[in-house]
Structure formats: C-alpha cells, structure tokens
A and B are shown apart, each in its own frame.
Chain A
Amino acid sequence: MDDNLIIDYLEGRTTPEEEKEILNNISASAEDRRHLADMKAVHHWLSIDDTGLSGEKSFVKARDSLNRAISKKESQKHQRKFVKIFWTFSVAACLLVIIAVFSLNRKHILNGNIASFCNPDSVVMRLDLPDGSIVCLREGTTLSYNNKYDIKKREVWLNGEAFFDITKNSGKPFIVKTEKAMVIVHGTVFNVKATGHEQEIETILASGSVSLRNTRGKNIVELKPGQQAIFNPHKDYLEVKQIPAWNILLDRYHVVMISEAPILEVIDIIQKTYHTQLETNDEISENQLITFKFQKSAALGDVVEMLELVSGHEFTFSSD
C-alpha cells in the first residue's frame, strides 16, 4: 500500500474512493492491516494534546464522575438488599429478628451505632464489609458489627450460618463472636455455623488459618485448611475432621471460589460447571495463577468476561 495514501488518510485528506481502496487492501492483507494500524497508532499518539491545565481540569472532572458513579451503584445495591428483606418478610417476623438481635447484642448497641443484617430469604445474601471482606449469610442468619469495626480490630456478631472471605490484615484480627464461642481469623475463607437454639458451633476452613476459642478467649483448636470443627461447649465436646471444604461451600452457597490456582484449572472448573468448552488463541502459561470467584447462578457470559478481565486473555465459548 502506498505510504502517501496512508499519510493522506491519517491526515483526513482521502476521498471515499481512496478509502475504499484502503479498506480493500487491509481486508485482503494482514500485513497491510498491521502496517496501517501501527501508522495510525503513532499518528494518534503524536497528535495527543498534553497541555497542562485543561488536562488537569478534565482529570478532576473524570475522577469525580467515577466516584459518583461508584457511590450511586453501591447505594443501589444496598437499597435492593433492603427491599428484598422488606418484601419477603412479614412485619411480625422482622420484629422478632430485631428482638433476637437486640438481646444478643444488647451490650454492643449501647456502645454505639450498629449495623445489623438478617437474611430471611432462602437465597444466600452477600454482604461487603467496610474493609473489603465478603460475608454470605444463609437463610435465617443475622450478622452485626458496630461503627468501631476496622478501627483496632474487626469484630462481627453472628447468629446462624455464614461464609467468610476475609481480606488479610494481620494488624487487625477478624473475630466472629457467637453466643457460645468465637473464631479468630488470620486472612482466610471459612464458614461458621452457630445457631442460638443449637448447642453446637460448626466451623469449616477452606483456606488460611483460624482458631476457635471459647467465650472467655481460651484457645480450643487451631484449624488447618480443609478441616471442620464441631464444638459443643456444654458437653465439652470437640470433633475435628478432614472434609472437602470447597465442595461443601459450593454446595451451600453456590459460590465457586478458587484462589491462586493455575489458570488452566480455573478454565476446567468453569467448563465443568457450565458444560461448555472455552477456547482461546492466546498462549496460556501454565504458571499463571489467578484468584477467581463466581456464583453458580451467574450467566456464563459474565463469568467469561470476568475471567478475561482477571487473566488478560480472550476467550470464546460454545453456547450449548
């Protein structure tokens, strides 16, 4: 392809006939296509305006716009959760839950503002804590924390069963308090089940490490990944066994979580979950490790898009 024609095109001087010729050339030849793309890229790059003040102004505008968009989206999310709770729950039942929470956490309510969430729905409810940690509440579960959360320590109160994915912060331990025991966490993925009417507290650890303590803070057991502990403080009974933790969490929460796993393994899991075949033209390194989470109910397209974002590769998938 003639370079003068390319330069005319980049400078906007070409006629539609000449543009037709360029289109024909780049459709027919991969080399021409790449060449024109390179030319245009450099031409574009050199013509970018870097002048100070206007750039700074538009940056500030863009940053504010981004922060507004994020706040809006996050408050919508919050509202949706609230509406869901409101409509699926009768007023009487709601009152009961509030009383239950109050009696459990009376002491803490007196201490200051408290955020309390209960999930009356059979669909798992996801909460994002202020430090970025994620909690998923199963049906009938209540979780609360006060406004001192994330100041010196991260403390939540639980009645029911929840799954925790905790961001690592060794300076601020994460503590799950229940009526009969507490779980101290060191950056991790785990599940705690402690229902008021039952005597036992069950803890499942998927990754990281946690220690189970009694209400006075005395250490009962340290768990390793893949272990389940069942503790009954009244009978002074403790049972620790090895279990397929990820599968149990998948079963109970329909959340697939893979952390620091080879990308090929992640692709395999997605393929099996959706009965599909992912394909890519990119070269995929066996050593690339990624952390990846998705809800089993999510659309395959969304999951693949997320995988593309996280991995930096492009994928196509068969639709059946």
Chain B
Amino acid sequence: MPDLITKIRRGDKGAFNELFGIHWKPLVDYASLIVGNDNAQDVVQSVFMKVWENRASLKDGNSMRQYLLKAVYHASISFIRKEDNSIHYRSWFARRIDETLASEYDIDRNDVIKALYTKELSRDLETAMSLLPPKCQEVFKMSYIDGLSGKEISESLGISVSTVNNQIHKALKILRSSLCPYKALVYILMLYFLTRS
C-alpha cells in the first residue's frame, strides 16, 4: 500500500485532496494569524498549488505538517509585504505592530507556534493546561482550584514571597519566567480565569 506522498508524487489527485483535507484547517488558522481571516484561505490555496506543481520533489516522512506550515509562513510574509494587500487594521500603529510581529511566527523559531499547530489540540482549557510543564500545572491547580493564596504558593515552591502577596498574576509572572516555557499560555489561562471569576 503506497503512502499518501508516494501517491501524490505519481500524480494522484485524490491523494492530493486527502492531504489538503488533513492539513487545510490548521494551515488556514495559522495563516490568519499573519494575514487575517479574509486572506488566509487564498494564501493556503497558493501553497497547495505549489505543492501540486512540485509534487515530484515532495519528500517522505512525517514532517509534512511542518513543511506545509513553513511554506504557509513564507507565503504569508510575502503577502503582507505587498503594498496593496487588503488586510484591515484598526490603526496605522496596529498595522506596524502586526508587520513587526510577523517574523516572530516562524514555525522553526517559535516553540509556541509549533506546539499550537503541529499537535492536534482541542481548544479547551484542560488541553491548554496539559501543554504546560508539570510544575506550571501545579501552580495553577494550587492557585485556582485549591484556592491557595499567592503567598502559600510561593512558599511551597520556594519563591520570593514579598512580590506575590497582593497580586496573583504578578507572582505567576515570576514563576513563568523561571519555570514555564509556554509563558503565553500562562497569560491566556490567567486571562481566562480572571475574566470568568
């Protein structure tokens, strides 16, 4: 039974459509981070057109998702570099911010991006939690589920006490910088809890 890539290399359009089906959604989600919702599908389509045209040089292996994400990254960057692109920004500064941030979304250089788009994660809090290192998860459990104060947490973890007493999110910030590589997730989790409580 030849695998999908082998079939595509031989010019099998059905297999190519299957590949499209497997990766389309996360690629569009990823592209929309850089080029906005209105343009993401076009960017992804242009990438798949290229994949089909160059199907003979497709490589085997299980890193297809990463390869496609990288291609989408390149296509997205060249899209926003075009002067007359139709992305809507709420202000000139917001536009400049997005342009400045774009290069940070390179899948090879950003572990957060890699985790979000190469693992099949469901978008609920529990999964987001499970992305955190064990120590980080512990902090969240202690803080929000067990209802411990910032002081109690920092004491039990041996972290400086004075800075954490009043504002739990400041304490978590310190913990984050020393313990959690997925710091962005920590913030969003914080946001999630703070806006719910």
List the interface of chain A (C-beta within 8 A of B).
3, 6-7, 9, 12, 16, 19-20, 22-23, 26-27, 33-46, 48, 50, 55, 58-59, 62-63, 65-67, 69-70, 73, 130-132, 134, 165, 167, 169, 282, 290-293, 306, 308-310, 312, 314
Contacts and interface: CB of A to CB of B under 8 A. Distances in A.
Contacts of B70: 312
Interface residues of B, number: 58
B116 A42 contact: yes
B65 interface: no
Would you call the interface of chain A mostly helix, strand, loop, or mixed? Answer: helix
B56 A167 contact: yes
Contacts of A46: 123, 128, 188, 192
Contact of B11 (A19, A65, A131, A309): A131
B54 interface: yes
Nearest to B56: A132
A82 B92 CA distance: 49
Interface in B2-31: 9-11, 13, 17, 20-21, 24-25, 28-29
Contact of A3 (B59, B122, B169): B169
Contact of A33 (B41, B96, B101, B113): B101
A103 to B, nearest CB: 31
B95 to A, nearest CB: 9
- Nearest 6 CB-CB pairs, A to B? A38-B184, A37-B104, A132-B11, A19-B93, A42-B184, A42-B188
A45 B183 contact: no
B81 to A, nearest CB: 13
Q: Of A19, A33, A65, A310, which is in contact with the most chain B CB atoms at under 10 Å from its CB?
A: A19
A62 B45 contact: yes
A33 B104 contact: yes
A37 B17 contact: no
A37 B123 contact: no
A65 B45 CA distance: 8
A39 B173 CA distance: 13
B45 A38 contact: no
Given A66-B49, A306-B54, A314-B74, A23 B128 contact: no
27 contacts: A16-B91, A19-B91, A26-B100, A34-B110, A36-B101, A37-B110, A38-B184, A42-B187, A44-B32, A45-B29, A46-B123, A50-B123, A62-B24, A63-B24, A66-B45, A66-B48, A67-B17, A69-B49, A70-B49, A134-B56, A290-B59, A293-B57, A306-B54, A309-B74, A310-B54, A312-B67, A312-B108
